[in-house]
Structure 1
């Protein structure tokens, strides 16, 4: 399948370039696009892509591919809209967009939203075990803890090519447009602390929201939100689960913490399912699933699989485009996460008597 890449930054260089290089049985990259010509050329050279662009519209008009991988940072709503309108299938990295309106404006088309943790073999095994136990109704609680060091420290091994050739005025205009989308989501008067929380929810905590969607369904209510520490700081979120039980998420940005660590524990009446995720940029580092069970005597069984979740996700996109196999998350699931992030921001604003408007109101 011939594909084009939009965005040649950190995730593309550290994750997608090596995976696409070793999965040439599935994909041929024919075009790449980035605001930086330096990055477009660097990624294009590594993947042997003849097309090098700095504008999405130019790349889509030139064509020569079947599908687009949308890997740039920020909101993907408008470039995804353009790609779908041009008839291309799209794999879009999270978040799909920053507003509900952007999702509503998308035309019909083949769209898959990338939450690679949903494709992690340990997560799929946990889903199977939960189904054997009786499904979401048996869950007493889901407890999530994320220890998040700086992105620079997580990617120090990757020897990334840096972009220093993008017009500062262009970057400023893009930031202004993105601030406008956040204002549409939260209201013009939403203060910085609410905006920062929304950014964390859609930029990082959304991975855990995507797991809640798979395990229990999206939470319909947010009971409590608190933040502390210098932004992005720490975030605590809790509320009821759709089928009973409650969830709690504690997310901590710890700049100099030794390594990224994410733990998701599902407690039920007869034991627990515990998932421990490694740093997402380390290829084939296994997630550990620990199954705790036993009546009167504890039994702990660990399960690991070194199959790379990002690679499984890419193969799933290939199957979606070529065989029609539905993805785990499409536009509807991505919209649920946007709505949940807006509920998180709104609950925090109400608790602290802060301004909230826009879609979140």
Structure 2
């Protein structure tokens, strides 16, 4: 732990879309709190480009994340590599480095258990669920507490209109992928992730596809459920269906079940590559009204999330809207700084990340029960 308020040196592993459009620009914006001193990516071209842009010394630009972690020389690490982060997070924790970890935390509960042992029960890792730090989400949580807490929730409805990445990122004008990632290293990492997926849910490609959707995207909605009501108590229904014949490999997904307080939840994740824009709606219904959150594309910095509050006013319906342009990703970084310097607990640490892995495996297991798809690995037990 460093001195509260101190500017901390941070290393970033993984220079893909989320790092280029969000993390690095915000770390630069908050140079009162962070100093980016090391970068890593499989692409030498990308490391060179971004290392120059953000003033990282040549000797602190890496193409091997394990080597970057072994060299040290910084106070904390941000993991934004693809796939499971279990191994790299474990290496960082062994080195005594606090971690901000993009989702998924890991693919398996065994990885999460190992991280929990290394974390030692102290705040050492934050999972990057930026929606939990959105000012509109914080206001909704405050209003729910005023209403009497999670037990007042009758139902939660979630709808995600998942537009294609080209539509979500058209504003960013990103260059094409460099194409210089070593084929052998990329193949090695893919094989490692495939082995972890097999350990998590088994070999069936339908189970793997569903699980990837859950741990890479639906996990954000699971994190909001945990924040508002607690993790789902049951998974009663799961179905998937294709967008269109011959369309994208990833189907749309519908999940429903019971909340810990007795209410119900439904999550509908619609894979719509040609939809005009990304949109996510999370609505909490209670006996006297609703709290509705509408999220824009996560890559649009400082685009406000709208919280619409519906309640009774003199026997009629009243609607009020709360908006803030305070960026959720930036608030997340501020909270991470507080974790590193003052030991402040994150909204989602290792235990919360493990809870979302567990729920995702429960969804896959229920999918197998309902469809006959063979489920293996941890999800089968």
Same-fold status (TM-score > 0.5): yes
The alpha carbon displacement at 1:247 in A equals 0.0
The alpha carbon displacement at 1:165 in A equals 0.6
In 2, distance between residues paired with 1:155 and 1:46? 20
Unaligned runs of 5+ in 2: 1-7
In 2, distance between residues paired with 1:257 and 1:187? 32
Are 1:359 and 2:378 an aligned pair?
yes
In 2, distance between residues paired with 1:235 and 1:203? 13
Are 1:330 and 2:349 an aligned pair?
yes
CA deviations 1:275-308 (Å, max 9, x no partner) are: 0000000000000000000153100000000000
Give the TM-score normalised by structure 2.
0.92
Q: Where in structure 2 are the equivalents of 1:5-24 lying within 5 Å? A: 5-24=12-31
Counterpart of 2:330 in structure 1 is 311
Counterpart of 1:211 in structure 2 is 224
Are 1:262 and 2:305 an aligned pair?
no
In 2, distance between residues paired with 1:39 and 1:77? 24
CA RMSD for the aligned pairs?
Answer: 1.1
CA deviations 1:75-124 (Å, max 9, x no partner) are: 00000001111111111011100000111122126111110000000000
In 2, distance between residues paired with 1:87 and 1:79? 13
Q: Where in structure 2 are the equivalents of 1:123-142 lying within 5 Å? A: 123-142=137-156
In 2, distance between residues paired with 1:301 and 1:66? 43
The alpha carbon displacement at 1:64 in A equals 1.6
> Moved runs in structure 1, 4+ residues, more than 4 A?
none
Contact 2:310 2:317 in 1 (8 A): yes
In 2, distance between residues paired with 1:211 and 1:116? 10
In 2, distance between residues paired with 1:11 and 1:210? 19
Give the TM-score normalised by structure 1.
0.97
Contact 1:17 1:43 in 2 (8 A): no
In 2, distance between residues paired with 1:160 and 1:6? 19
CA deviations 1:145-191 (Å, max 9, x no partner) are: 00001112211221324231111222122111111100000124xx2
Counterpart of 1:108 in structure 2 is 119
In 2, distance between residues paired with 1:28 and 1:274? 37
In 2, distance between residues paired with 1:169 and 1:89? 30
Counterpart of 1:45 in structure 2 is 52
In 2, distance between residues paired with 1:185 and 1:312? 32
In 2, distance between residues paired with 1:99 and 1:256? 32
Contact 2:206 2:373 in 1 (8 A): no
Higher mean C-alpha displacement, 130-139 vs 100-109? 100-109
Higher mean C-alpha displacement, 105-114 vs 303-312? 105-114
Counterpart of 2:193 in structure 1 is 178
